[in-house]
Amino acid sequence: MIVILLAGMLAWAAEPDVEAPEPPVCSTTSLEALPRPPEKLAVAWVAPWRRHPSGRLTVVPTAELRGWLAEQNPRWTGRTLQWLGLRRRNTDPKRRFQVRILEVERDQLCRPVDGVEEGVPVADIPACKPRLLGPDRQTDGCGRALDRRTGEPGPTRYVVKLNDVDDRGYCVVPLTRYVEEVGTK
């Protein structure tokens, strides 16, 4: 009996350890479905009012933001922040938020996609450095924000260096005003 048990253990120990391959974070179909931006693109950076931008900004195309606001017509800013992946609750936050609208060129953008090496083009935009991604509940890992209410992908996200766009000028609007004006049109 002991001999059979030892033989079974030796046979088990001799089997090579085969690790299951990790599934890709984003399927190639998800990456192919990402929109290709035009040469010049208007983007929006949404952040708390008193926060000053520094380094790199995570932005969304204003066309997607305006389109969602016109379609959904949310009555409060909390739902908009949920859709952008910036807030868990849909109630209005106590802090005021701003929308800073910038104009960027396509070559100034990078795409925050998990599992893709830096500089590899994904839908005509190079992937960002992996350290810019980090563990983030705000994204789906495929270059889109994660709607914190539904868990569905939200708007396309890009990362841009502030130094690349700061000299072009920008427009800053309170988020509450932006939501009210765009949602009523």
- Any domain includes 68: yes
Phi, then psi, of 16 in degrees rounded to 5: -70, 145
- Any domain includes 14: no
Q: Where are the beta strands (DSSP E) in 28-146?
A: 40-48, 56-61, 97-105, 109-110, 121-122, 125-126, 144-146
Which pLDDT score is estimated for 50?
77
Question: Could you list the residue range(s) of the whole structural domain that residue 84 is in?
Answer: 40-183
pLDDT at residue 12 tops 50:
no
- Any domain includes 147: yes
Question: H-type helices in the chain, by residue range?
Answer: 2-14, 28-32, 62-72, 77-83, 130-133, 162-165, 175-183
- Provide the number of structural domains found in the chain: 1
Tens digits of per-residue pLDDT, 23-68? 445 655 566 667 778 889 999 999 998 777 778 888 999 999 999 9
Res. 183 pLDDT band, cuts 50 70 90: low
- Any domain includes 176: yes
Which pLDDT score is estimated for 68?
93
Rounded Cα–Cα distance for residues 25 and 2 (Å) = 46
Res. 8 pLDDT band, cuts 50 70 90: low
pTM of the shown model: 0.77
- Any domain includes 34: no
Residue indicated by tokens 């708007």: 155
Which pLDDT score is estimated for 54?
73
Among 137-141, 145-149, 152-156, where is mean pLDDT lowest?
A: 137-141
Burial class (CB in 10 A: 0-12, 13-18, 19+), 146: buried
Which pLDDT score is estimated for 80?
92
Residue indicated by tokens 């309170």: 174
Rounded Cα–Cα distance for residues 161 and 50 (Å) = 19
